[in-house]
Structure 1
């Protein structure tokens, strides 16, 4: 059975109880390690008593990031037969309260659905809830009771860069997201590398709306990019993503779907979609946790798990040779003929292309 908590519920409970947790922490004589030594999730006495929750930054009907997160805990419930819960539309200022509330309610594994939750996880996990395991989806956290679940966004966006470069007429493309953090930076980097492997002089413009779900802001940003000469847009938004795709279709430019297969949202605009089955990845880590095998590390999933990361349907406008090149590149990545390794570029950490 999956329970839904409203923001009002956890805020009322959280504001009082979180203050109490500070007092309890101050009075206790036991010490809690806050080092980054990787821990292993404790195996429960009875898996039926294991409880999993997820904190979502947007709504579960966005047909994108938040919906697949919700579907992830539903998959956990169905596959493992354990209790799950969720809270949706949690603002950044409320993240600590939401995570803390689930921990106090006895949830053993709590997913924070987005890299923007990293600071909140680090604030509550090691000091106040050492017996609860926290997983940052798209995060960078690791430690005794913290792990991160990541899709290798760079692999998919590299190929989208190749496709986009084969479709652009203006030689200008854009990457549109809500925020700049490690996951979006890697996705932008992959898009740049792929595009420049086809057209070295191509221009890639990054743009950020500041809000994953505001459709008006997304449409405004899309129109601004198009007016600047951009004719291909790689977007990663949540509830606002249809606004980008539909605006692209209205203006006669191309775009990429993200997270789910979004071809049906705007068939005249969507070239293909980088499908990321976060729901299956969430269920995979939950299974490890129930068995006591989840470690305090960063789990990165790429094309090597084809049920989790793959491409959606290609739009009718994509020439066969462009589609074939994309799929051949995917095979080359799987065969490690194309790799992306950590590197330093102009004093900044990133990932660089390496031919195998």
Structure 2
């Protein structure tokens, strides 16, 4: 069974004294209509809190697909809440734990503070922050190694730019987006050391108007390649790039089809597979309180998408060769100090 609660509906049920009967009634009347829906195993329940909508063709959809993959593979009962505002995060996570969910995914690094507040109160529930930076007795974080994927995109971007000015757009600034920005910068500078990388954070992953405005502002400042990480607003960046005859990168999903003339490739992150993998660890009581970082060594989870027309054969082969060198650990990324900040730097193996 997959239960879909609107934020308002969920919070009302959470505060009612007869919460259990209402919750069951809600599940019965609001279950997702999919051909593969099953009643699930009442002994293992998974929930996910999502900051956006499950139809965004990006981050939130991948999280939703993850718990549904876990439902199929583990015969679990799953539930989700969409469009969880920052102010409601603590209450949504608390209500899932009170209702006996064994595993709660918080889908975004912006949930870290809420997890840190709620998890100690519910030691029988395991919390996983996707893109988080926390670890504890009943807390783990799932981190795709965004830096590895963006490093490859930086190489590609530097190979096609004419203005030597690239940009990164994301919804919020936190460790995962900082990592991705750093990788994009390192990759680009490995090709052109004096290339310029600028960044902007719109403050909203789904606001189409803000995304378009930010894209146009960057283009007016001579940026001709944009790496974006947004949710529902990602298409606005890609389509604006196409309209203005510049290049861009897809993210999370393979987004070449959104703007075929503009998209060079995509940093494809199969969060559905990663989420199901961690869910299996929890069910088998094999999970520990740590940060699980998954990189290019798992091509079923992190890889490059289809290449666009502007990424010629030479550019493709170079990117794929570097990808293999990262997998083979001939190129690694180690903690370092740069401009007074702790970050990651490239280290190449000596012959």
TM-score normalised according to structure 2 size? 0.91
1:81 maps to what in 2?
Answer: 75
**Structure 2 counterparts to residues 286-297 of structure 1, below 5 A:** 286-297=279-290
How far off is 1:14 after superposition?
Answer: 4.2
Distance 2:155 2:343 in 1: 19
2:217 maps to what in 1?
Answer: 224
2:20 maps to what in 1?
Answer: none
Checking the alignment, whether the CA contact within 8 Å between 2:41 and 2:77 is kept in structure 1 is no
Checking the alignment, whether the CA contact within 8 Å between 1:10 and 1:97 is kept in structure 2 is no
Distance 1:179 1:54 in 2: 20
Distance 1:130 1:13 in 2: 22
1:198 to 181, 191, 199: 191
1:330 to 320, 323, 330: 323
**Structure 2 counterparts to residues 114-153 of structure 1, below 5 A:** 114-126=108-120, 128-153=121-146
Distance 1:346 1:283 in 2: 38
Distance 1:56 1:71 in 2: 12
Matched, 1:264 2:257: yes
Checking the alignment, whether the CA contact within 8 Å between 1:268 and 1:315 is kept in structure 2 is yes
Matched, 1:354 2:347: yes
- Secondary structure (helix, strand or coil) at the match of 2:250 reads strand
Which deviations, in whole Å up to 9, do the C-alpha atoms of 1:46-101 show, x marking residues without a partner? 96511000000000000000000000000011111110000001000100011011
- Secondary structure (helix, strand or coil) at the match of 2:346 reads strand
| Cα separation, partners in 2 of 1:277 and 1:77, compared to 1, 3 Å | same
Matched, 1:93 2:87: yes
Structure 1: gaps spanning 5 or more residues? 18-45
**Structure 2 counterparts to residues 11-160 of structure 1, below 5 A:** 11-14=11-14, 48-126=42-120, 128-160=121-153
1:170 maps to what in 2?
Answer: 163
Distance 2:162 2:339 in 1: 30
1:240 maps to what in 2?
Answer: 233
How far off is 1:10 after superposition?
Answer: 2.4
Distance 2:106 2:222 in 1: 37
- Secondary structure (helix, strand or coil) at the match of 1:193 reads helix
Checking the alignment, whether the CA contact within 8 Å between 1:4 and 1:85 is kept in structure 2 is yes
Distance 1:89 1:252 in 2: 33
Checking the alignment, whether the CA contact within 8 Å between 2:109 and 2:131 is kept in structure 1 is yes
How far off is 1:12 after superposition?
Answer: 2.3
Distance 2:77 2:124 in 1: 18
Distance 1:140 1:183 in 2: 8
Pick 1 or 2: higher relative contact order, CA cutoff 8 A, min separation 6: 1
How far off is 1:222 after superposition?
Answer: 0.3
How many residues align structurally?
A: 327
How far off is 1:163 after superposition?
Answer: 0.1
Distance 1:106 1:234 in 2: 40
1:8 maps to what in 2?
Answer: 8
Structure 2: gaps spanning 5 or more residues? 18-39
Distance 2:183 2:292 in 1: 19
- Secondary structure (helix, strand or coil) at the match of 1:50 reads strand
